[in-house]
Structure 1
């Protein structure tokens, strides 16, 4: 077997392996979130966080083996890929989710809040929390923009990749680093958002986040089903 054939076989194997992990991860996400929804306990919340950490650890290994496959994410649905930013969700989506959930809960409890009753949920974010969220969002946007620019520069270097004597492995290595930095930002943002919330609010956020991921995947699978027969 020639080297290129061996490399292709290895990439295909790693791609299949992560695709299987991806399916299992979503099934397990549904289970741990059901546990969190039922118990509303910090221990269950920590289990959800560990589940997210496991995803990025496995994805990092897959990116080292085949960054192009990870970037394209063939295991994801068409809908999921249409929402991707560097092979995953955009970190600032977490802030939009917090604000959306907060607005919905605030409206549903507005009478209680106006009467001075504290609900303690996401609709009851304090002014200090909102300021910290705003500061964190600004920092996250800056990191997103820097990574977007770095990816654009990488894509602009395609002529160098295909040129004579091109250092292909070096260019692919740069893509691996971009993917890992994007995933690191996603995980750090998730942890930071949870850290700014009370336990009750963090639990509500993690449930809403999981429902969003599972809902998008479910819609995507229904859309893709006719094309996968």
Structure 2
């Protein structure tokens, strides 16, 4: 798959993400019946399958042209400035959990102080906070390890100029780094979703997508003003 083909795929995928977020937003919260609960699980799984598809197709594009994927021509200038190895930094997920938890907590602080359970991200249990913290530490270690692999690849850039026979091997190493980064991104979201209740997972996925929509929208406006699009 060429970079132009992936760009077309991404535009369609991004539009479908908007539709899925609308489905998330219209889910009954909190779920009051078994049917509501199953519906939340079903929509969450649809969103996760959508992310699976994105990274599957992106991996194919990377195998064809790793450098094109690395520079991410489908992204805005702002998005690329925020990238960590051709995508969002995995630990962003944890910052999002903490910020959304704080927002929901403040919105329902009176109910919480009265002992009422809200069931949302502002009502995370101590065990959930502990697991989020553990996952964050694990993810930071993996991020650092992958960053080190990329640094090693970049340090060998001078070899690319004088050893064309090794070019395929070096590009293969870059593909490996890209795939590891994307795998960590996807695994991080999956693990966060798994430790949340269905209602909390819906709220987390909505917040994550809205952040993505906001950054992309702002980036597109900035690029238009600069005449980049």
TM above 0.5: yes
Q: CA deviation at 1:112?
A: 1.1
Query: Unpaired segments of 5 or more residues in structure 2?
Result: 29-39
Contact 1:160 1:166 in 2 (8 A): no
* Residues 175-214 of structure 1: pairs in structure 2 closer than 5 A: 175-214=174-213
Match of 1:148 in 2: 147
SS at match of 2:2: helix
Mean Cα deviation higher: 142-151 or 36-45:
36-45
**Does 1:97 find its partner at 2:96?**
yes
Kindly report which structure 2 residues correspond to 1:93-172, keeping only aligned pairs within 5 A, or say none. 93-164=92-163, 166-172=165-171
What SS is found at the alignment partner of 2:106? helix
Q: Say whether residues 1:17 and 2:5 are aligned partners.
A: yes
Task: Check whether the contact 1:80–1:217 (CA below 8 A) recurs between aligned residues.
Answer: yes
Larger mean CA deviation between 155-164 and 27-36 belongs to 155-164
SS at structure 1 position matched to 2:201: helix
Tell me whether 198-207 or 106-115 shows the greater mean CA deviation.
106-115
Compute the displacement of 1:14 (Å): 0.4
Task: Give the C-alpha shift of residue 74 in structure 1.
Answer: 1.0
Q: CA deviation at 1:228?
A: 3.5
Are 1:15 and 1:69, in contact at CA under 8 Å, matched by a contact in 2?
Answer: yes
1:66-77 correspondence to structure 2 within 5 Å: 66-77=65-76
Asked if 1:35 is matched to 2:23, the reply is: yes
Per-residue CA deviations over 1:93-116 (Å, capped at 9, x if unaligned) read: 000000000001111111111111
Structure 1 window deviating more from structure 2 (165-174 vs 194-203): it is: 165-174
Counterparts of 2:175 and 2:200, CA distance in 1: 34
Alpha-carbon shift at residue 165 of structure 1 (Å): 5.3
Shift of 1:186: 0.3
Aligned length: 217
Q: CA deviation at 1:39?
A: 2.4
C-alpha distance in structure 2 between counterparts of 1:25 and 1:152, whole Å: 31
Q: Is the 8 A contact 1:194 1:202 kept in 2?
A: yes
**RMSD in angstroms over aligned alpha carbons?**
1.1
